[in-house]
Chain A
Amino acid sequence: MAPLKPQPLAAWAIFGIAAGFFTIPLIATVIFSLSMKRNGWSFEAYRIVLSDSSFIAAFGYSLAQAIAAVLISTLLIVPAAYWVRLYLPAMKQWVEFITLLPLVIPSIILVFGYLRLYNSASWLPLTSNARSTDALLSFGYVTLAMPYLYRTIDAGLRAMDVRTLTEAAQSLGAGPLNILIRVILPCLRGSILNGAFLTLAIVMGEFTLASLLDRPALGPYLQLIGANRAYEPAALAVIAFSLTWFCMGFFQYFSNWRRGV
C-alpha cells in the first residue's frame, strides 16, 4: 500500500466543512432555545419543557417501549442469528434480506398492515385495549429495530468462533439453552448494548407507529409541541441530543468496563 501524501491544508479544510455541517445548526438550535426571553439568555424554554408533566410521561412511555423492544429483540434475534450461523449458513443471505425489509417498507404500510390484521374485529384483536396495543407497538419497534440489532449481533457472532465454542460447551455436557445463555450471550454483551442504543434512538423519535396506534409516546408529543410552540421544540431537540450522547457514552463505558479499558 502506497503511503498517502500528507496534504494538511486540504484535509483540514474538508474536516472544517464537515464539522461545520454538523455543528452550525446545532449551535444555532442551542442559541435559539436559550433566547425565549427578550432581555438576554435564559433557560425558560427548558423550564417549561421539563415542567410539563406530559413530556415526562411521554418520555417515560417511550423509554419503557424502547426497553421492551430491546428485550424482545434480544430474545428473538440472538437465538435466530446463532442458529443461522451454526446450522443454516446457506440461509444467511435470505435471513439478511428479511431483516433489511423494515428499511425498505415504510412504517406507514407496516402500521396499516397491523391495523388490518389485529383490529378489534380480527381473530387476534390486539388493538381492542390499551395494554395489548402497547404490546403491538413494542412488536412494531422490534421490527423497526431488527435491521440494526440483527447486524450488530451478527457482527458480534462473527467476531467469535461460534462453532468451536459451541462444540467445546457440548463436549462439557451443555445443551442448547445453556450454551446460549452461559456462553454466547455474555460474549455478545457489547453488540447487544450497541444495538440497544440504536433501538433507543429509533424508538425515542418514532412518530408513525405511535401516532396511528394512538399511544402517548414521545414522537407524537414532539410533533404536537413542534406544531404549536416556537422555542420549546428547540429546547426539546437539545435535550434529546444530550440524552442521546449521554446514553452512547454510558453504553460505551459499560461495554468496555469488563476488559478494564
Chain B
Amino acid sequence: MTTGSSFLELVSVQKSFGQTLVVKDFSLTVEKGEFISFLGPSGCGKTTLLRMIAGFETTSAGAIRMAGVDVTGKPPRERQIGMVFQAYALFPAMNVFDNIAFGLKIAKWNRRQIADRVAEMLSLTQLEGLSHRFPFELSGGQQQRVALARALALRPQILLLDEPLSALDAKIRVSLREEIRQLQRKLGLTTIFVTHDQEEALSMSDRIVVLDKGRAEQIATPHQLYNAPASPFIAEFVGKLNRLTMVRGAPHTGELDFDGLKVTANSSLHGGHEGARLIFGLRPEAIAFGEGPAGANRLSAIVEDVDFLGSILRLKLRVGNEILFMDQFNNRRNLIPERQAQVEVYFMPEDLMLLDESAGTA
C-alpha cells in the first residue's frame, strides 16, 4: 500500500530512554528525492531520530513507513538504507575498493558486477586511482567520500547522514556539501541530513526540520524558516537576530516606544494594553544606512565596533542604551564607518518579528 507520493513517513514517533522522553510525538512526511535536514542544538534528539529511521534504535511508540511498507520493527539490514557517519566508520583493514564492495559482496553480486559498480562509484565520488589505498592513507575528506560511495553502492532507498562534515575543516566542508547535494540531485535520492550547523542546513536542504528538546518546532523550507520563523526559539536559533524590547503605546496605532524612540511595527499588532512590554526580533540585514522610504523607522546610532567578515560588514550600533547589529554587503567604493561615528539608519516596520508578548509590563 502506498500513500500518495510520500516516500518516508514517520507517524507520531516517540523514543524514551528509561524515564526520559528524548523524541516526542514526531511526525514527518518526506517526498521521494527530497533533501531534508534535521537541525537543532546539541542533545535535541537529531541522532536518535535518524537512528530510529535507520533501525538502530527501536521506537517507543509510533510507526515508520518506507515506500508504503511499515518498517517499524525491522532490523537495519532489511531497510535498504545508506548511512554515513560523522566518524567515517570505514573498515580499517580493507582498502577503498573492498570498503565500497562490502555491501555488494554481502548481497552476493558476482565479481564483474562488483568491479563495475565500484568503478562507477569511484568516478561518481571522484576517487579514481585511490582504490588500493587503505583508510589511514586518506585525508578526512577522501575518507568521507569513500563512506559516501560505500553507502550509495547498493542503491539505497534512503540516504541518512549524521553530521558527516563536522570532522572536516571549513573549506572541505563547503566543497563536500556542494558535492553531496549535486550527487543527491543527480541520483534523485531521498536524503536526511543531520547537522547542528544552520548554514549547512540552509544552503543544502529542500526542507528543514528544526528540533528542540525532542520536538519538531518547525518544518519548512530554508526561506520560510529564516523569514517567517514559527517561534522565538527558531528566530533566534536560525541566523543572527537582534532582540528589541519595546513598550506598547496607545492600542491599535501599532506605535511602540523603543528606548525613548517612537517606532512603528506591522499594523497587524492587535490587542494588548498600553504599557505592555513586547520583544521583537530584527535581522541585522534589515537595517540600512540612510533615511529609507516613507514609513521607515529611523534611528540615529553610534558605531561601537566594526567587524569585517569579507563579503559582509557587521556593525555593532548603540542606540540609546540598546545594542543593535547591522549587516551590510561589503562595497569597496564605500568607506568603512569609523568607530564612535554617528550614523543614521532605518528599518521597515514589517521587518520587526514579534517574539514575545508576555514579557510583562513596563
- Same complex origin of A and B: yes
A-side interface residues toward B, CB under 8 Å?
Answer: 160-161, 164-165, 167-175, 178, 182-183, 186-187, 189, 258-259
Q: A164-B85, A167-B76, A168-B83 are in contact. Are A173 and B106 (CB under 8 A)?
A: yes
The verdict on B107 contacting chain A, using a C-beta distance below 8 Å, is yes
Q: How far is the CA of A167 from the CA of B88 in the complex (A)?
A: 12
> Is the Cβ of B89 less than 8 Å from the Cβ of A165?
yes
> Shortest 5 CB-CB distances between A and B: which pairs?
A172-B103, A186-B93, A171-B83, A168-B89, A164-B89
The verdict on B75 contacting chain A, using a C-beta distance below 8 Å, is yes
List 26 contacting pairs A-B, 8 Å CB cutoff, sorted by A.
A161-B87, A165-B91, A167-B83, A167-B89, A168-B89, A168-B90, A168-B91, A169-B91, A170-B56, A171-B77, A171-B81, A171-B82, A171-B83, A171-B151, A172-B77, A172-B102, A172-B103, A173-B103, A173-B107, A174-B102, A175-B77, A182-B91, A183-B93, A187-B92, A259-B134, A259-B136
The verdict on B150 contacting chain A, using a C-beta distance below 8 Å, is yes
Q: How far is the CA of A187 from the CA of B94 in the complex (A)?
A: 9
Closest B residue, CB atoms, query A170: B76
Q: How far is the CA of A170 from the CA of B78 in the complex (A)?
A: 9
> Is the Cβ of B106 less than 8 Å from the Cβ of A174?
yes
Rounded to whole Å, the gap between the CB of A157 and the closest CB of chain B is 12
Mark each residue of chain B from 144 to 155: 1 if its CB lies under 8 Å from any CB of chain A, else 0.
000100110010
Closest A residue, CB atoms, query B103: A172
Within 8 A of A (CB), among B98-137: 102-103, 106-107, 134, 136
Chain B interface residue count, Cβ-Cβ cutoff 8 angstroms: 26
Residues of B within 8 A of A173 (CB): 77, 103, 106-107, 154
Residues of B within 8 A of A169 (CB): 91, 102
Closest A residue, CB atoms, query B56: A167
The verdict on B66 contacting chain A, using a C-beta distance below 8 Å, is no
Residues of B within 8 A of A174 (CB): 77, 102-103, 106
Q: How far is the CA of A165 from the CA of B83 in the complex (A)?
A: 11
Q: How far is the CA of A175 from the CA of B106 in the complex (A)?
A: 9
Q: How far is the CA of A173 from the CA of B78 in the complex (A)?
A: 7
> Is the Cβ of B106 less than 8 Å from the Cβ of A178?
yes
Residues of A within 8 A of B256 (CB): none
The verdict on B246 contacting chain A, using a C-beta distance below 8 Å, is no
Q: How far is the CA of A122 from the CA of B126 in the complex (A)?
A: 67
Other-chain contact of A186, B82, B94, B107, B136 (Cβ < 8 Å): B94
The verdict on B54 contacting chain A, using a C-beta distance below 8 Å, is yes
Which of A161, A168, A169, A175 lies at the interface centre, i.e. has the most chain B CB atoms within 10 A of its CB? A168
Q: How far is the CA of A258 from the CA of B154 in the complex (A)?
A: 28
19 further interface pairs, Cβ-Cβ under 8 Å (given A164-B85, A171-B76, A259-B136) = A161-B87, A165-B91, A167-B54, A167-B83, A168-B83, A168-B85, A168-B91, A168-B147, A171-B54, A171-B81, A171-B83, A172-B103, A173-B77, A173-B107, A174-B102, A174-B106, A178-B106, A183-B91, A186-B93
> Is the Cβ of B87 less than 8 Å from the Cβ of A164?
yes
Residues of B within 8 A of A161 (CB): 87, 89
Q: How far is the CA of A183 from the CA of B151 in the complex (A)?
A: 16
Closest A residue, CB atoms, query B80: A173
Residues of A within 8 A of B147 (CB): 168
Rounded to whole Å, the gap between the CB of A261 and the closest CB of chain B is 11
> Is the Cβ of A170 less than 8 Å from the Cβ of B103?
no
Q: How far is the CA of A160 from the CA of B151 in the complex (A)?
A: 20
Residues of A within 8 A of B87 (CB): 161, 164
Residues of A within 8 A of B83 (CB): 167-168, 171
